[in-house]
Structures are given as C-alpha cells and as structure tokens.
Chains A and B, each alone.
Chain A
C-alpha cells in the first residue's frame, strides 16, 4: 500500500509544471532499494530428503509472493487509459 501511495505522489510531481526533482538521486535511490534476494534453486545442497520437499514448496511460495508484489507494482505504474494511450501513440518513420 505504501508503495502505491508513494508512486501516486511521484506521478503528480511528474505531471506538474514546476521544477522536477533531480533525476540523479532517483536512479541512485532506486539502486539502493533493497534487492529481493532470489536465492538458489531448491538445491541448497544440504538438508535431508524430507526437508528438500518442504524447501521447494517454501521456495515456490516465496517466488509466487515476489511475483505478486512485482505485478502489484506494475499495476501501480502502468498507464491507466491503455487503450487510448496506445491508440494515440503514433510516430513518424525514422531511420
């Protein structure tokens, strides 16, 4: 939820005719954001047979959660009026 609100604020700031924030800190801040650790596959090497199956399931759960969060974020930034936007996106031929 917090992510959603932050993005909305940035969106409004982006649209205003006022001075925009220096883009340089934005790239740096984005890079500094904690990266989700992907981790290895289900083969962390050790663990007994029984544990292996559970680890895989946990891993699957984790990946699904990550994907859900990612899709949430995409939803929050994706252009709202997709149909109109895409229709209006016309370019002159270039090289």
Chain B
C-alpha cells in the first residue's frame, strides 16, 4: 500500500524519456551520511566494545516502550551495482538483538550498533546545508547518549567517543556518504570520473592524520584519515580490501528509478565548512556525471597508489601519473573538475545552497594554489595542522611524540568541553555554516522535505503503534489486525507538503491508515 499523495513531477516527457533540461540539475538531490564512531571506556578492565555500543545506543531513549524493530526484511547488502548478487549469508539479528541494537529516532535518523561501533545514519536531506545540520545533530545524539551511558558504568569508568576513522593500529571505520542517483546512468559512467575525483578531493576535505598506517610509506602527517586503507579500485566489500568506489546496490527506494551511491572513501569531518563542501561538491559532480558533463578524461594510471600519495604530500605539488602517461598534481585534477563544474552550471539555475557551495569550492581551490595554510579556519586537515604545529612550536615536541598523537585523536572527541575542534569553534577560530539552534532543532525534528518527515513524525506521534521501520517503509501493529506496512519508495514523497495535514488529522495510527484509504 502506498502513501496516497500527489505524484511529484521529475520532468519527464510523455514517452518516459527524461528531459535533458537546461536550467535544471539532473535529479533532485537526496543525500545522507552514516558515521561509525570510535568507542572506548577508560578504567574498565572488562571493556568490550560491542556491549559498550549496545549500552550507549540504548542509553538514548525516545521510544518509551523500547520495542520498535528495525525491518531487515528488505535489506540486500549482497547486491552489487555491476549487476550481480554475491553469495553469502545476510546477517539478520533475532528480535531481542534487533531491539537492543537499533533505534529509529523522531528526527528520522537511525542510531544503531554496527559491528563494534555506534553508528548514526542521518535522515535523508535535499541539500548540503541540511546535511551539515543533521550530521552535527548526530554528534549531539552521540554525546547525549554517551553522558547517559556514563551514569551506568562502574565508578571511575568513563566512556569516550571519537568521530574519526583510525586507531593508528591498522583498524579503520567509516564515514559513508549516500547520494540518490538516476538508475539509468550506467555504473561504468559513474565509476570512471569518480576514481580520480575521490582520489584527489581529500586536498580540500581530508580530516588530517598524524602518522601513517604503512611501514613502507611513513610520514609525520597526511591529509586523510582513510587514504592508507584503500586497496582496490572498485568492489563490494567495505571492511577488507576497501575499494575507492563501492558497488553496494541497496537503493532503499524504487529500484527501477534510483540508485543509491554508497561512498566509503571520505573522512569523518568535524568542520562544518568541510562537511558542507564534501557533500555539496560531490553531489554537484554526480549531477554532472548524470548529465554527461564530464568532458575531460582524468583517468589515473593507478588510483590506489594515487590516493595514498596525494594524502602523504602536504605540498600538494607532487605529480601523479595519468593513464595517458602525463603527470598532473591533485590540485590540477581538482581544478579541472572545478572548471567543468563552472561550465556546467553557467547554463543552469542553481539554488542558493548550490551557488554557495560552488563559490566556496572555487575560493578553496584558489587558496590551495596560493598557500593551503590560508584555509586554517575552514578545512579540517589545515585547521588540525595549524593547531599541532603551534603546539609543537611551544612545547618543543616533534611529530612522533605521543602528545601530538593525542592532539590528533582529541580533535575528534565528542565532548564539547574537551574536544579540540569544539574548543576552536568556541574560540571563534573556525568558520561555521549553520547555527547551534538549527543543530539543536534537528536533534528532535526531521527534515521537512524528504520521506524522513513521515518516518520521524510517525515515530513521534504513534510510538506505541509502530511495529518496525526501515528507510523505505514503516509498519504498524494495530490491535486485532495483522501488521500493516506502508511503503515509502520515493524519497521525495512523505514530506511535510504531502503528509503533514494528513498526520494532523490522524490522532492514532489506526486513523492514519483509515485516512490513507486502506
């Protein structure tokens, strides 16, 4: 049963062919991020990450009865975007485990245990600015639940959470970006420009990292937390032999129309400015790919080698080998993407966020060409480098000192009074994009312009009647009735525009379903 709502036009001609519309972006952007956090407990000899994750996720209580399930039924992590299904077992927890490990929140987010990490998956948003707001709201949720969890730990034990990607001991955990794409764009066409784009974008969105994971390639500091961990170009796995382009094909939406591009190559950023560009620019590049606007061939000879080399090169001047044998720097490659983007957007109307993202990206590329350290209030790796260099200068340390490693880690600490990023923010040392009020609002309110609105509002209004939730459906358990699942295959339906009035008229879920014409 579908939500009865007026169909949103996606600019199609009568014969089903999409318009290559001048003045319009390829497909309305829908995006979100899922972030795995590092977790530890000080002064607890029995520390076990998995039970600590269960503790922290459960410490965040919105659902009074604590019995809503995550609906794993329609998940398909073994589907590969290149057109096949990998053999393997799909893990589905039993009901008890499910409830212990999953929370779907009234702001439309999912907060859960993923392997041995607490993970926050933001609700779907339509633009990079809302993405910043909701990703930051996730940091608040983590911190609120960390404090609650602390109350339940033995005396003296303290739980700590880090929004980063590396423990400097060979283990990594991710910040995954998700972008809605048109399924008709061939995956091959998507992969080709993304390999060079993802290998080089770290010059303006890397989170910075002290040291190297690779004994053969040591370094004091590098641009990206994740770069050392990539071993293949294109693949399905996300945990071993990580690929620069991930082929996971779980759209959580109408499979005929949509693809969800699952990006695992990014860093967990603290700076709002960096998060904004990371998602805003990537969304723009994806639109360009869909519209056939990537006119230059920027194929690299060896992307896996390049992603590491670029990360380790703080001068941004080292040249990498292109497939045609020529040598370019990462900055030149990104400048080429920028040039194509400026050409692409010159004949299109952009919304204010898109305009702002493009302008800021251009300013950043130009600044990188003059002196990257100009960006010490904007880009994480530069902010962090400035911080560390100042500290080293004062204390006469060197890069291998444990205190320097501690600075790297504590930059990502979730506590607003201890986290070094938050300290800098408080002191007015970093440029902000959104306000604390907006972030606070987003902790308890879903975006209004995606299906996250319907999901979040149902959870807020009818918590005792919701049986299970997934990204593209919500199920209700009513008295004397079988479970009723409402499908939400369109990410841009179920918005406040379509359903708020309906929800306001429906005091209970039973009434809602009646009104929806079941």
Tell me the A residues contacting B by CB distance below 8 Å: 7, 10-11, 14-15, 17-20, 23-24, 26-28, 30-31, 33, 35-38, 67-68, 70-71, 73-74, 77-79, 82-83, 85-95
Contact = CB atoms under 8 A, between A and B. Distances in A.
Nearest to B415: A14
B173 A20 contact: no
Given A20-B151, A27-B440, A73-B427, A95 B416 contact: no
Interface in B140-195: 140, 143-144, 147-148, 150-151, 153-156, 158, 167-169, 171-174, 176
Contacts of A90: 40, 167, 169, 171
Interface string B401-424: 111011101100001111010111
B393 to A, nearest CB: 9
Given A24-B440, A86-B406, A92 B117 contact: yes
A9 B416 CA distance: 15
A23 B364 CA distance: 34
6 contacts: A17-B151, A35-B428, A74-B387, A77-B417, A85-B409, A95-B173
Contacts of A18: 151
- The 10 A-B pairs of least Cβ separation, nearest first, read A94-B173, A35-B428, A92-B116, A82-B406, A83-B402, A95-B238, A91-B167, A82-B402, A94-B36, A20-B147
Contacts, number: 144
Nearest to A92: B116
Contact of B418 (A17, A67, A77, A93): A77
Interface of B: 36, 38-40, 49, 114-117, 140, 143-144, 147-148, 150-151, 153-156, 158, 167-169, 171-174, 176, 238-240, 264, 387, 390-391, 394, 401-403, 405-407, 409-410, 415-418, 420, 422-429, 436, 439-440
B423 A74 contact: yes
A74 B390 CA distance: 11
A23 B140 contact: yes
A91 B153 CA distance: 20
B88 to A, nearest CB: 15
A73 B144 CA distance: 24
A86 B168 contact: yes
A71 B151 contact: no
B264 to A, nearest CB: 7
